[in-house]
Amino acid sequence: MSKLWSGRFTANTAQEVQDFTESISYDWQLYKYDIQGSIAHAGGLKRAKVLALTEYQKIVSGLKAIEKEIDQGKFKFDSGLEDIHMNIETALTQKIGDIAKKLHTGRSRNDQVATDIRLYLKANINFLLNCLQELNEVLARQAEKNKDIILPGHTHLQIAQPVLLAHHLLAYVEMFLRDKQRLIDVYARTDVMPLGSAALAGTTYPIDRKAVAKELGFSSVSENSLDAVSDRDFIMEFQAAAAVLMTHLSRMSEELILWNSSQFGYVELADNYTTGSSIMPQKKNPDIPELVRGKTGRVIGNLMNILTIMKGLPLAYNRDLQEDKQPLFDTVKTTVDCLRIMTGLWRTIKFNPNKMLADAAKGFSTATDLADYLVRQSIPFREAHEITGKIVRYALEHGKSLNEMSLAEYQLFSKKIAKDIYKYISLTGSVRSRKTYGGTAPEQVTAALKRVKKRI
């Protein structure tokens, strides 16, 4: 079958060139958006009196019939036709005849594919936002249900200070709410229609671009035709936003892997969200968070891919841009899959509050509270810090926790320490004292939960 652009050529494309340049093996995923864009473009041609009403109706009917065939898996894609645009246009010509040849008037594959990708990404950003919302809702519910559980907060992976489990879970909600905002920002810059820019210089036909944009659901049209066909900023931004989102999921995964280990024992992952070992029958492996952690590398790599493609491209369109799609499709699918499976995992997780509380009592996690107590006794913080350090060293040498030391032992280091010290260095006392906005005190966490529910 001759190619739609073959008029200038006297020889057929070499098979190896055809195999090397085809993109239909993956850009078929754009078919709905390509057909949507073509229908809107046909409407623009009708309003510009390039198409008669009957011609427009036949084109629209033919395109919808092709879409139905693809939906039902009956359409045969031909790699010899290079891409999704050529496949659909050729099929339309076969279906309705020469009228179909008028459809490409006033446009190029350059502005066509740029429009398709933007439509695709807008739809998938919305889907990702829904997936993010589901995960945040599950995390917020787990926080609400387990808001009295105390666990040790860590720095340098060492026990630092006690916090509420709800406070810990809401830290991830904050990350994902920022991810949500980043995706919303990306959406705004994706929501610009390039169609009508043609190859690079615009079109000579009086197409009402704003009317076409309105039909396609774009909020605005591109300002510069050269930029419109070669701009992939929106893909770079999306890949960056997705990489940050996946990094947050990876951090969460790392923590779940640690928490699920026998050394921590803070959580038990549900049987239907874990796998076993082929040789060790006792194993129950956290494969889901491990895979999420691993897939994060793919998404970060996809960001590097598009940045590297774009860094040396002169204006306007270059075939290098064909390479923007596979990494984009991969990032969308990977991020969606990871969000959905992590949502299911968090929905079914079980916590071990006794182990969390026991660990929170270790590692002198209320030492800062002891220093703060001394400050209240009019001792400068740096001096209070030094006294507390000496007390901790004494406790270590004598195999005691802070709660196990007697008042007489405390007063070896400062006579200003009174019997009320035990109230301040208890785990509950420590948590309750963190009353600043955004802190881990129960009333602050309860207020944060109320705010988060509205923000989600």
Catalytic residue list: 156, 277
Return the C-alpha torsion angle 180, 185, 190, 192, nearest 10.
140
Assess contact for 112 and 42: CB atoms under 8 A.
no
**Distances, alpha carbon 247 to alpha carbons 136, 291, 334, 340, 380, in Å:** 16, 13, 13, 16, 40
List 275's β-bridge partners, or say none: 285
Beta strands 267-268 and 350-351, pairing class = antiparallel
List 164's β-bridge partners, or say none: 150
Tokens 């019997």 correspond to what residue? 419
Reference 45, options 220, 205, 247; nearest CA is: 205
**Distances, alpha carbon 70 to alpha carbons 29, 41, 87, 109, 441, in Å:** 10, 20, 11, 20, 56
> Can you tell me the distance from the alpha carbon of 446 to that of 331, in angstroms, rounded to the nearest whole number?
36
Supply 117's token pair.
Answer: 């990708």
Tokens 């032992």 correspond to what residue? 409
**Helix count (H) and strand count (E) of the chain?**
19, 6
Amino acid at 105: T
> Is the alpha carbon torsion for 278, 281, 282, 288 positive or negative?
positive
> Is the alpha carbon torsion for 110, 111, 114, 115 positive or negative?
negative
Beta strand extents in 97-179 (DSSP E only): 150-155, 158-164
Q: Beta-carbon neighbour count of residue 96 at 10 Å?
A: 18
> Is the alpha carbon torsion for 73, 74, 75, 78 positive or negative?
positive
120 three-state secondary structure: helix
Supply 38's token pair.
Answer: 């073509």
**Distances, alpha carbon 328 to alpha carbons 180, 302, 342, in Å:** 18, 7, 21
> Can you tell me the distance from the alpha carbon of 10 to that of 232, in angstroms, rounded to the nearest whole number?
34
- Residue 438, sorted as left (phi over 0), alpha (psi -120 to 50) or beta, turns out to be left
Supply 221's token pair.
Answer: 């049209």
List 350's β-bridge partners, or say none: 268
